[in-house]
Amino acid sequence: MSVADSTETDWVSRFADEVISEAERRAPGEPIVCASGLSPSGPIHLGNLREVMTPHLVADEIRKRGHACVHLLSWDDYDRFRRVPAGVDPSWAEHVGKPLSSVPAPPGSDHASWADHFKAPMIEALAELGVDYRGISQTEQYTSGAYREQILTAMRERESIDAVLARYRTKQGEERPGAYYPYRPYCEMCERDLTMVTAYDDDTTELAYSCACGFGETVRLAEHDRGKLVWKVDWPMRWAYEGVVFEPSGVDHHSPGSAWVVGGEIVGPVFGGERPIGPMYAFVGITGMAKMSSSKGDVPTPADALRIMEAPVLRWLYARRKPSQSFKVAFDQEIQRLYDEWDALGRKVAQDAAQPAELAAHARAVRTSRGPLAATPRPVPYRTLASIADVTTGDTGQIGRILGDLDGVAALDEVRPRLDRAQAWIDTHVPADQRTRVRESPDEELLGSLGEDERESLRMLTEGLDEHWSLEGLTTLVYGVPKLRAGLAADAKPTPEVKAAQRAFFALLYRLLVGRDTGPRLPTLLLAVGAERVRKLAGG
């Protein structure tokens, strides 16, 4: 079934239908414009990624249908630097109020500015995710004079803009001191926006301002390119300027008096445009943040996620949920369950057994209109690769041996990049006290304390290793030994008593092999340790 056939259950297709229809009404024959906006004021996190992925998926579907479509990504690098975050030299306080593009990058960064420092990892992540967009620097737009006519229009219509804003002021009868001006200059002397417009003449466009630093001047706004419109006017101005048809926004933008609501009332009367179709997107949560670096603001970024999961899996998380549905990105043990679910979906798709919405989400995850994303040739289960990476402490020779025994893998490139992601997860998100360390020598005290039943179970295990030396075979062996000891066949359904015996047998093996009661799945652990060493540690 094609994606187009799955419109009933596929949110991306539904939005694409709506956007194509709306674009034809607004600007027939013109390229369809979808938009996103990101502020590089700090780490651009996985919640911000939804701002980009939502229009990306819709724009990509529109392109697949043969329509010209551009996805604009505005970098709000002309926004003010608001505060010095924790961990940054307090001397950066002197830059508060400057454009993000004019603030030096954090100490130790190779980038030219604060904005570039935080844009760079996002740009790399979007490339890996296959997101095709046209980036726009708002610093370049404003300082080049691209918005000059729009700024003059906003200043000319300042009273009607103020009237809209007044309807949403928090206190009834609240008075705003002085005249209202929707434009704020950056000071020519200190470069900060600690300025106040004191006078403006519509005919000459002469604008006078004073700054908290003590500087003041009069400029001709028709020639002045060191300032910007306030956000609630800037956003609707861009909708009209770019002809945006589709742009999502977060929950915070949909409250009364928000830029989305106010902008919808300003964009037509002031700028002659229309507000885009704009779904509200929900929160993206995180599980397992204990290892996130404080230098990154304790906020996991797309780059962080792509270190531990493949790009199609991260795309899938955003594609399979409607924008209004929240979801979580796993950095803890849940990532193994997530990968199990992803692999199960891949098998369903291969068997033509996936539901339409599942099929559509999978298709959007693995390829874009430009072609397929990189994939692992032999998708060995993530939990297996993580266990192997854990037990071998990343020794590629050992990993190669185990994977050869496990699944006939001839070269590690067959299981990359998934293997590298699993290794990174083990290295960065599994605490040291939960890492697996195989014993160097037998636990003679424990072996000496065992009863005859336990010794016989270990003997049956060690004698059966060679015959069962595969993941499936070892699974049968470790579960089968307690069944055989209870007089049942190896493939018999276990009784409650046998289940208890299995748990006790597993705990014994873990103690003998890794000195703990639990660990990686036993069949994987046995393969990793190797038959000879298992016999040695189990007293065989």
pLDDT digits (tens, 9 = 90+) for 460-494: 999 999 999 988 899 999 999 999 999 999 889 99
User: Which pLDDT does position 175 carry in this prediction?
Assistant: 55
Give the chain's length.
540
Q: State which amino acid sits at residue 232.
A: K
- Alpha-carbon span 472 to 477, nearest angstrom: 9
Determine contact, residues 270/157, Cβ cutoff 8 Å: yes
Helix (H, G, I), strand (E, B) or coil at 470: coil
Flag residues of the chain having pLDDT under 50. Answer: 1-8, 172-173, 290-296
Q: Using alpha carbons, select from 362, 319, 363, 357 the residue that is nearest to residue 341.
A: 362
Can you say how many angstroms the Cα of residue 344 is from the centroid of all Cα atoms in its chain?
22
Structure tokens at 32: 């369809």
pLDDT on residue 519? 87
Predicted confidence at residue 292, as pLDDT, reads 40
Beta strands in 225-312 (DSSP E): 227-229, 249-250, 280-281, 284-287
What are 174's two structure tokens? 């609240």
Distances (CA, A) of 225 to 115, 219, 435: 19, 10, 57
E strand spans, 384-500: none
Query: 281, 147, 162, 289: which is closest to 226 by C-alpha?
Result: 147
Give, as one character, the DSSP assignment of residue 6: G
Pairing, β 206-211 against β 69-75: unpaired
> Model-level pTM?
0.90
- In DSSP terms, 229 is beta-bridged to 183
Say how far apart CA 63 and CA 113 lie, in whole Å: 35
Closest CA to 302 of 53, 37, 39, 41: 53
- H/E element, 330: strand 327-330
Buried b (16+ CB within 10 A) or exposed e, 45-84: bbbbbbbbbbbbbbbbbbbbeebebbbbbbbbbbbbbeeb
Phi, psi of 498 (to 5 degrees): -65, -40
Pairing of strands 327-330, 284-287: parallel
As given in the structure block, the two tokens for residue 275 are: 């507000």
What pLDDT shows up at residue 296? 45
Most distant CA atoms of the chain, gap in Å: 102
Hunting for tokens 């329509």 — which residue is that? Answer: 67
Q: Are 236 and 275 in contact (CB under 8 A)?
A: yes
Note the pLDDT of residue 490. Answer: 87
Look-up of token digits 């369950």: 337
- Say how many C-beta atoms besides its own lie within 10 A of residue 381's C-beta: 18
Residues 52 and 119: their CA atoms lie apart, in Å, by: 13
